[in-house]
Amino acid sequence: MSDKFIVQIGEITKVNLSGKLDAIRAPLLMEELKSLIGQSVKRIVFYAQDLEYISSAGLRTIIFAKQKLGADTELYMIGAQDTVTDVIKMSGLDNFLYLQGSYEG
């Protein structure tokens, strides 16, 4: 597991998620996402192929990103395992978080 989540910042910001996004790791991601506030981020792409688990704390972090970065910012989660996408769908986050198997961009 890397110490940093965000690997590229710009209009399209790339975020690598791995292991567990739980009460221990979600606050670390939230701190990194806070650094994006006020920047012109049009899209956040979460690469989640290696994400094994997402807790309510992880879900709150994704909601935070959407709320703080604005309604026009698009959020994508790429390659997440079924267990993760099931939690996202049950939580209703798939209303604004695009779930895709791959991403070109």
- What are the tens digits of pLDDT across the range 13-57? 999 999 999 999 999 999 999 999 999 999 999 999 999 999 999
> Which residues, at least 6 apart from 85, have a Cβ–Cβ distance to it below 8 Å?
77, 94, 99
What pLDDT does residue 1 have?
52
Q: Rounded CA gap, 88 and 93, in Å?
A: 5
Residue 105 lies in a domain: no
Q: State the pTM of this model.
A: 0.94
Is 69 among the domain residues?
Answer: yes
**Is 23 inside any structural domain?**
yes
User: What's the domain range around 80?
Assistant: 6-100
In the structure encoding, which two tokens stand for residue 79, read together?
Answer: 């390659």
Q: What is the CATH number of the domain that holds 77?
A: 3.30.750.24
Q: What pLDDT sits at residue 2?
A: 57
pLDDT above 80: residue 72? yes
Q: What is the pLDDT of residue 89?
A: 98
Question: What is the pLDDT, as a whole number, of residue 104?
Answer: 84
Q: List % helix, strand, coil for the chain (3-state, nearest 5).
A: 35, 30, 35
Q: How far from 40 is each of 9, 68, 78, 99, CA to CA, in Å? A: 10, 12, 21, 22
User: Count of domains in the chain?
Assistant: 1
Residue 30 lies in a domain: yes
Q: How far apart are CA 84 and CA 91, in angstroms?
A: 11
Q: Is residue 17 part of a domain?
A: yes
